[in-house]
Each structure stands twice: as structure tokens, then as C-alpha cells.
Structure 1
Amino acid sequence: MNAKRLPIDSSSVPTIEDYDQRLTDNPAIQRNESLMRLLDSQTDRHKPLVSIITVVYNGEQTIRETIESVLRQDYEPIEYIIIDGGSQDKTIQIIREYADRVALWLSASDHGISDAFNRGIALSRGKYIGLINADDWYEPDTVRRVVDTFRADDQIDLVCGKLQYWRDNRKDVRFPSAPEDLGVDMTINHPTTFVSRRAYELAGLFRLDYKYAMDYELCLRLKKHACPFISLDAVLANMRWAGTSDRNWLRGLLEMRRAQRDNFPGKRAFFWQFQLRFVRGVLGRALAVLGLHGILRFYRARISRFRREFQ
């Protein structure tokens, strides 16, 4: 199914209302009405509805583990939504296997990952919203920890935590989130992040003109709108280690600088922090290319601006 032309300026900040207009009466949306009624009956002020959105394209190798990690959560009610970009492999077949436990799913071509995220958020109904891609998976108690944190302070708009990387089916580096350092780098682990609906209503959704650093731009925008963040000292999500090409790394870095200018223009501290980030990134990649893995691990754990935890 071909995506309709966006009635949204890609350089503007789209809203939930923009997407509501696009998605109204879309016949490709598969809703599990009986499950949605059950979720409504389970929801109250002590147990708010949480929406979890998985974005996927040709993810037959990994999506099953992602789905299972959501369904194994020790919290309810959870509204699970899957947004597929028109997969040509067996992804849709796998999604159908779980159709009785998925509140809503949609398979249609889109305009990139930001567009897919925005579709899921607009279709969701939860008070808190998490985004987990088809290559990643949650810890069994992730949602409960997050809800407990939101409920402990109803002013909080974003909860994040540690991200565990895996290499060759073994635990590798562990990244803590550090929201206080957003001016330097993307120091929030996006797979661990849950955002309140009111924050999206206040600050808007993901910008479509960002292809690499859309999550960083959104976090800076939330910061600009004075949305309170909190980071948990616990692993909330897991990710498989995947290398990034030098070209994509540089493009992502340049988009990060652009996000800083878009949200905090004229702030010189961001410029100098960006220069340091570039130098550190080049040094780290040079050590990796030279095969100096022991030195690289020491650099990441002791010298790099953001400490990594190694298993």
C-alpha cells in the first residue's frame, strides 16, 4: 500500500492532530476491539494505560523476541501497537500469530522511521508511551518500574534508564542514560525511553526532516519546553550491537548539531561541546579501526565523556 503524500511541512513539527486527520478511517488499520475494551476495563488512576509501539520493516529475524518481551511484562494494562512499513518477508505472518494480544497493527509504506513513530503515537491511547524497535527488547519488569516512577512524581514527562548491548549473544557494554548532559550528546537511550502523552501534546511529534538524530531533536525540544526527565539506575532495554558506517556516523553527528541550533540557537556552549564530541568520536573510531580493542575499552570506560559499564 502506497503512503499518501504528507499534508505536513517536513521542516515543521507535526502534531497528533495532524496524524489523526491522516489516519481516520484508514482501512489498513487492524484493531482488536475486544482487547481494547478489556484494556479499558483494567485501566484506572492506580493502573494507567501504557502504550508500547514497535516499528518494523522486514524484521522477521528479530521481531518475535521484541513482541515476546512486551507480552511478558509483569504490568497491565498495556496497549501494544505494531507499525509495519510494508514488509516483504515473513514479518506480517509473525504479527498475525500474536493478533489476539496486539491491540492494533498497521502495515503500509511510510515516509521513514519518524513517520512510523508518529503514526503509532497518534493511534495510541495510553497515558505513557514507549517505543521499542524490532531489533530490541525489554526487561520483564520495565513497564512496572517506569509506571512506578511516573506515579511517584506526576510532574515527570520522560523516564529513561540503562541500555544493555549484546554482541554475539553475549552481554557487552551497558550504557546509562544521562539527561543532564543532552547538550553534549544523545545521552538518553531511546529504547529505554517512555514519554507522557501530555509531553507529545505540548511539544509535538518527531520531525520528518531528521533521518538520523530524530530522537535527539525530540529530546532537546522536550527540554526546551521544560519537560522534567528522570533516569533510572536499572537496565530497561536491550539492543544488539550493530556497527555504524563512517558516513552515517558523520551524518548523524551533523544532524545532532543541527538539532542543537534548531532548539537552542546562539548557545555557544553547545558549539564547543559539539567540537569535543567530534574529537572523541574520531579517537574512538580510530582505535577500533586499528584493532586496539583493549585500549578502546579502557578509553570508553575511563576517559570518554560518558562512562560505559562493561560486563
Structure 2
Amino acid sequence: MTKISIITINYNDLVGLEKTFNSVVGQSNTDFEYIVIDGGSTDGSKEFLEQNSDKLAYWISEKDSGVYNAMNKGIKAAKGDYIMFLNSRDFLIDTTIIDKVGKDLDGSTAIYYGNLIYSLNGVNTQLWSPPDTLSFTYFLSDSLPHPSSFIKRELFDTHFYYSEHFKIVSDWEFFIYCICKMNASYKHLDYVISNFDNSGMSSVKENLIKIDTEKQQVFEKHFPLFLEDIKVLKDGNSQRFKQYQAIKSNKFKFTLLKGLMSLLLLFQPKVKMKRYITKI
């Protein structure tokens, strides 16, 4: 039977750790291993782990260099076929979910991903349901949240562990590289897996510039031949383009828009088209 390793990353969040811990150890199917990587907390988290060490396959409490350093420690300690990250404050949607997921993980697919509920300060805000078919365009603006994803353990050894020099996008980098460049197989599990606390680093508005900078570095590293194409795809994903599509669906508005564009083009210098001739 396929075995799952559930990994929780925690730092000075005892309340969140207890919530996550209880949702995991309370599962009806206990045929999985549970790992907790604590970053040297001083709020009682370490003592909580000591008191509940009998329910953990592995745990450690020591300083780390960041979230992805901690996640990599968890991967290295994991012995399961698939890895799931359920960090402090995130929790499994009910007590039967691991039993349900375990029946779907037959080992034939590299990445399984399900639905989740976003919450903020304990209040459910949004149901997130990803598409069945993933694409490069999809990953330009979205990702697969780790609390609803199950990643084949061997993918990390075959390709790479999470990049520790990034602060926010390393899990996104892993998914876009494996799926869009290495053609890793994937499957959507169309049911809710977990509740995701939407107050982390990637959800803070002040970090949006950092996210764009790190994503650009990923594109330059893994997809250097497609940088110009990525700019076009980003334009296609922009709010302005979506507005254009909405106008296009209305015959009267689209006719009016074309008229305005024709008028503006009268004052636009003509663009010379380059011609490429191949000699035989």
C-alpha cells in the first residue's frame, strides 16, 4: 500500500501547531508517518512535541535558515512514497480524508492535488478548486498549494529539493519545473483535502514585488528561451486583456471599440515588418 508522509513546519506558533497536530493524529486511517520540523521555538512548541513524541515518526526543534530549509529537512527525514506539507494553522478537512486519499494514490502518478478551503483568522473565505488540466499559462499566475498536494518522494531526489535562496516561490518553482519542463504526471482529486491558513508570506501584499522578482529568476533559470513568450502570456493573463475579452463578447461594444482603435491608428506610425529569408 502507498504510504504518505505528512510534514508540518512550525516556528513559535503553538496554537497553530496544536490545531494542525490534532487534525493529523485524529485521522481514522493511521497508516502514514507524521513529521514535525520546528525552528527552535520558544513559545512551548518544543515542549508540546516532547510530550507527544510517541505520535510522531520524527521531530526536531532547532534553528533553521528559513521555511524551505525546514521543508527540506522534512523531506530528507521522510520515508513515505508521497509527501504532503501541512504547516502550522493548516488542518485536514475531516478525520477520514487520509483514508480517502490513500485509496486514490496508486503510485502511478507523480503529483496528486486536491481542493482546499482558504481561511483567514479562522474564517473560511474561499473554496479553491484547481483545473484538471494544468498548463504553463496556469502557473504564470497560480500554483498548487502544498496543503492539498501529494508529491512523489522520488521527484525531489530525481530533480531538486526546494531552493533555499528563495524566500517565497520555491514550491511554485518545483511544480512548474516538474510539470511544465519535465512532464511529470499529475491528477486532480476533486474533493476538499484541507483548510489552508491564508496569512502566510505569499499572501501578504507587501511581498508581491518579491514574488515577481523571484519568479523572474525562475524563468531565467529554467525557461531562458521563452522569456519573450512569457511576457506575451502575462499580457494575455492581464486584467486589461480580460476586459477586452468581455467587450468582444458584446457585439455593439466591440464594434465601438474597433472604431476607436481605427481612429487611433491613423495617428500611429506604421510598423515595418522584418522579413527573414533563408537561403537554400
Shared fold (TM-score, shorter chain, > 0.5): yes
Q: Does structure 1 residue 150 correspond to structure 2 residue 150?
A: no
Identity of aligned residues (%): 24
Identify the match of residue 274 of structure 1 among 214, 222, 234: 234
Could you tell me how far 1:209 is from its partner in structure 2?
Answer: 1.4
Q: Does the C-alpha gap of structure 1 residues 237 and 110 become closer, same or farther in structure 2, counting only changes over 3 Å?
A: same
1:55-91 Cα distance to aligned partner (Å, 9 max, x none): 1110112110100111122323211110011111111
Residue among 170, 175, 198 paired with 1:241? 198
Select 2:114's aligned residue among 143, 150, 161: 161
Which residue of the partner structure matches residue 228 of structure 1? Answer: 185
Cα 1:110–1:168 change in 2 (3 A) is closer
Other-structure match for 1:141: 96
Equivalent residue of 2:168, what SS? coil
Structure with max Cα Rg: 2
The aligned counterpart of 1:128 is 82
Change (3 A) 1:172 1:105: same
Q: Which residues of structure 1 form unaligned runs of 5+?
A: 1-46, 284-311
Whole-angstrom CA distance in 2 between matches of 1:110 and 1:86: 8
8 Å contact 2:2–2:105 — kept in the other structure? no
Distance change in 2, residues 1:105/1:226 (3 Å): same
Q: Counterpart of 1:156 in structure 2: which amino acid?
A: T
Structure 1 window deviating more from structure 2 (216-225 vs 250-259): it is 250-259
Q: Secondary structure at the match of 1:180?
A: coil
Q: Deviations over 1:138-167 (max 9, x none)?
A: 12333233322221xx33011111120124
**Residue 45 of structure 2: which of 91, 100, 104 is its match?**
91
**265-274 vs 102-111, which deviates more?**
265-274
RMSD: 2.2
Paired residue type of 1:92: K
1:53 corresponds in structure 2 to: 7
Which ranges of structure 2 fall in alignment gaps of 5 or more residues?
243-280
Shift of 1:50: 1.4
SS in 1 for 2:140: coil
Tell me which residue corresponds to 2:252.
none
Q: Aligned to 1:217, which of 173, 180, 205? A: 173
Deviation string for 1:225-251 (max 9, x for gaps)?
221111211111112332844331121
Q: Which range moved further: 182-191 or 71-80? A: 182-191
Aligned residues: 233
- 8 Å CA contact 2:143, 2:175 repeated in 1: no
Partner of residue 224 from structure 2, selected from 251, 259, 265: 265
The Cα of 1:105 is off from its aligned counterpart by 0.4
Distance 1:99 1:225 in 2: 38
- DSSP 3-state at the match of 2:65: coil
Aligned to 1:30: none
* Aligned-partner Cα distance in 2 for 1:189–1:250: 20
- What letter is aligned with 1:246? K
Query: What TM-score do you get using the length of structure 2 for normalisation?
Result: 0.76
Q: Residue 254 of structure 1: CA displacement? A: 2.4
Structure 1 residues 76, 245: CA separation in 2 closer, same or farther (over 3 Å shift)? closer
Aligned counterparts of 2:231 and 2:96: Cα–Cα separation in 1? 39
Residue 77 in structure 1 maps to residue 31 in structure 2? yes
Distance 1:183 1:165 in 2: 19
Aligned to 1:256: 215
CA contact (8 A) 1:132 1:191 kept: yes
In structure 2, the partner of 1:188 is 144
**Residue 245 and residue 129 in structure 1: after superposition, are their counterparts in 2 closer, same or farther (change >3 A)?**
closer
Rounded Cα–Cα distance in structure 1 between residues aligned with 2:103 and 2:220: 35
* 1:275 Cα deviation after fit: 4.2
